[in-house]
């Protein structure tokens, strides 16, 4: 009997990153898009993959993920959105809940096929998770389980404020327990004008206690918008401080 993990065997290996977060709405799509834009501007053919998306809108071609549209625009790819996000749900919930409500289990074969295609045709593949690292795709499968089969260095996107130290250290522990290498942490949405002690100290504490690198601190930027397919200069400048090409090959 073929299991969900069997379909991820013998996938092509290449440069890439898995981008997860400490929670939902932390900004991993924005960060992934900015990385894609910079790699594309450096001359790389960038594959972007968000294996599962929920809260999608329906148009005449089916369900469409706004995150997938943003990633496609940032990577300047002409690959169809059905490759970038092979599993879409209308319900705005965890994929396991969506699968039960919409009576459509997560199609792991479609995810593996999309990743394999991108890995074979692109210089680097950026895989963005859904929600946090342990969001369930099925009762016994999380997005981190899928990431472990893809075996990519992992970037963790975190908030800057109170509570982020605990959330980030827990996510680091989960990623390491899955056997994935940690590329580092990106702090997203830092607002210097309103920052207090928790925001000012979180980055240093995460680096020290998590024994990891804080790759960059991305400022809050109201010029950037996933919905409107916009990346502001402040976000791009912060993301450009890291050598993403080197990290994707580690």
- Residue 221: CATH number of its domain: 3.40.50.300
Partners of 188 in beta bridges: 218
CA dist list (Å): 84 to 31, 143, 144, 195: 16, 16, 18, 36
Answer whether residue 194 is part of any domain.
yes
CB atoms within 10 A of CB 75: 25
Tokens representing residue 68 in the block = 């997938």
Domain range enclosing 188:
4-9+19-248
CB atoms within 10 A of CB 135: 20
Answer whether residue 189 is part of any domain.
yes
pTM of the predicted model as reported, rounded to 2 decimal places? 0.96
Answer whether residue 47 is part of any domain.
yes
Answer whether residue 237 is part of any domain.
yes
Structure confidence at residue 183 (pLDDT): 97
With left for phi above 0 and alpha for psi between -120 and 50, is residue 43 left, alpha or beta? left
Structure confidence at residue 59 (pLDDT): 87
H or E stretch at 233: helix 233-239
For the chain, what is the domain count?
1
Answer whether residue 72 is part of any domain.
yes
Answer whether residue 239 is part of any domain.
yes
Answer whether residue 14 is part of any domain.
no
CA dist list (Å): 173 to 48, 134, 139, 159, 167: 26, 11, 21, 17, 10
Band (61; pLDDT cuts 50, 70, 90): confident
Is 50 assigned a catalytic role?
yes
Q: Which of 13, 50, 90, 104 is catalytic?
A: 50
Answer whether residue 200 is part of any domain.
yes
More confident residue, 47 or 3: 47
């Amino acid at each position: 009997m073929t299991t969900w993990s069997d379909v991820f065997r013998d996938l092509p290996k290449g440069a890439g990153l898995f981008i997860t977060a400490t929670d939902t709405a932390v900004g991993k799509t924005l960060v992934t898009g900015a990385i894609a834009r910079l790699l594309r501007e450096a001359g790389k053919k960038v594959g972007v993959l968000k294996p599962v998306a929920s809260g999608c809108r329906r148009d005449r071609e089916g369900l469409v993920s706004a995150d997938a549209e943003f990633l496609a625009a940032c990577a300047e790819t002409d690959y169809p959105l059905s490759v970038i996000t092979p599993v879409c749900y209308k319900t705005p919930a965890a994929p396991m809940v969506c699968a039960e409500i919409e009576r459509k289990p997560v199609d792991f074969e479609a995810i593996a096929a999309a990743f394999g295609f991108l890995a074979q045709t692109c210089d680097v593949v950026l895989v963005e998770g859904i929600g946090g690292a342990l969001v369930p795709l099925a009762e016994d499968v999380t997005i981190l389980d899928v990431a472990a089969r893809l075996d990519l260095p992992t970037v963790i996107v975190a908030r800057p404020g109170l509570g982020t130290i605990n959330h980030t250290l827990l996510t680091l522990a989960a990623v390491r327990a899955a056997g994935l290498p940690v590329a580092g942490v990106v702090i997203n949405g830092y607002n210097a004008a309103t920052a207090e002690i928790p925001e000012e100290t979180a980055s240093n504490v995460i680096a020290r206690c998590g024994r990891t690198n804080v790759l960059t601190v991305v400022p809050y930027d109201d010029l950037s918008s996933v919905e409107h397919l916009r990346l502001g200069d402040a976000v791009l400048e912060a993301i450009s401080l890291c050598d993403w090409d080197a990290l994707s090959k580690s």
